[in-house]
Amino acid sequence: MECNDQALTVQAFLGMKKRGERIACLTAYDASFSRLLDQSGVDIILVGDSLGMVIKGEQNTLSVTMDEMVYHSCCVAKARKRAWLIVDLPFMSYSSLPQAAKNSARLVREGYAQMVKLEGGRRFADTIRHLVEQGIPVCGHLGLTPQSIHRIGGFRVQGKDPEVAARMKEDAIVLEEAGADLLVLECIPRSLATEITRSLSIPTIGIGAGEACDGQVLVLQDMLGMGAEKKPRFVRDFLADTGRLEAAVKSYVKAVREGEFPATEHTFE
């Protein structure tokens, strides 16, 4: 991996939040798309465990292994120059502090991850603290957390209930205090995402969480119109608008930066 002065950093994202500049993030799982996203101005590439669904064809993310995450992260890392690289810790790979440290170290060492992402609230505060103390940046993930799909009972909006919403707001603060540098908010009402975003100094990256988040993320295949048969409400097909891959990605980046995506029709109240 070569040194690049333009490469984005955690500090750059904090600066973007302060200046009100929105952060554009997309998932990728291979070198070709990584290069395309990087050259099209995407700020963060996420090697998500969504690869269980879009690459492996599973119904959920639960079967994804550490070896698979390392493999895909390695493919993506080699082709990016400017974009920041976040990689998911898969299901049950961070159940104890030693396990979280060992697996995060693998993602960094073998997969060249710059940051790891884990799903869950306050019960992972110690895990985040532990990783950050060893120099591994962490991205939190609240709201719809697909690794808990069987407990949640399906891919549905979270935080409509006032008690759940209040707990999520507290969780967000706990994760920031534990040392998380970014926070993904998935499928929550826009008012809740707005409150959480305003209460934190670290950037929030929304997916189905409304326009007030500091950045947006989509699964690549979804924004290219190749996702599930029934398009989720929060997805916009940018390839249908443009007809070319590079133009679609550039159009996504522009729409995020200019606050045109997500629009009201992509948002949950």
Is there binding between residue 139 and ligand KIV (CB under 6 A)? no
Q: Which of 26, 182, 184, 212 binds ligand KIV (CB under 6 A)?
A: 184
DSSP assignment letter at 120: B
Bond from prior residue into 146 cis (ω within 30 degrees of 0): no
Judged by CB under 6 A, does residue 111 bind ligand KIV? no
DSSP state of 89: P
CA–CA separation, 36 and 241 (whole Å): 18
Residue 27 in contact with ligand KIV, rule: CB under 6 A? yes
Question: Is residue 224 close enough to count as binding ligand KIV by CB under 6 A?
Answer: no
Applying CB under 6 A, the site for ligand KIV has a residue count of 11
Q: Does 207 bind ligand KIV (CB under 6 A)?
A: yes
Q: How far is the CB of 179 from ligand KIV (least distance, A)?
A: 20
Contact between 245 and 221 under an 8 Å Cβ cutoff? The reply is no
Build a one-symbol-per-residue string for 39-58: x at contacts with ligand KIV by CB under 6 A, - elsewhere.
-------x-xxx--------
Active site residue 186: yes
Residue at shortest CB range from ligand KIV: 48
**Considering 68, 119, 176, 186, which one is annotated as catalytic?**
186
Contact, 87 vs 99, CB < 8 A?
no
- CB closer to ligand KIV, 145 vs 251: 145
What is the distance between the alpha carbons of residues 83 and 253, in angstroms, rounded to a whole number?
12
Task: For residue 214, state whether it binds ligand KIV (rule: CB under 6 A).
Answer: no
In angstroms, what CA-CA distances link 183 with 31, 78, 111? 25, 25, 21
Distance in angstroms (rounded) separating the CA atoms of residues 105 and 115: 10
Within 8 A by CB and 6+ apart from 120, the residues are 140, 141, 142, 145, 148
Q: Which is nearer to ligand KIV, 28 or 36 (CB)?
A: 28
Binding site for ligand KIV (CB under 6 A): 27, 46, 48-50, 88, 184, 186, 207, 217, 219
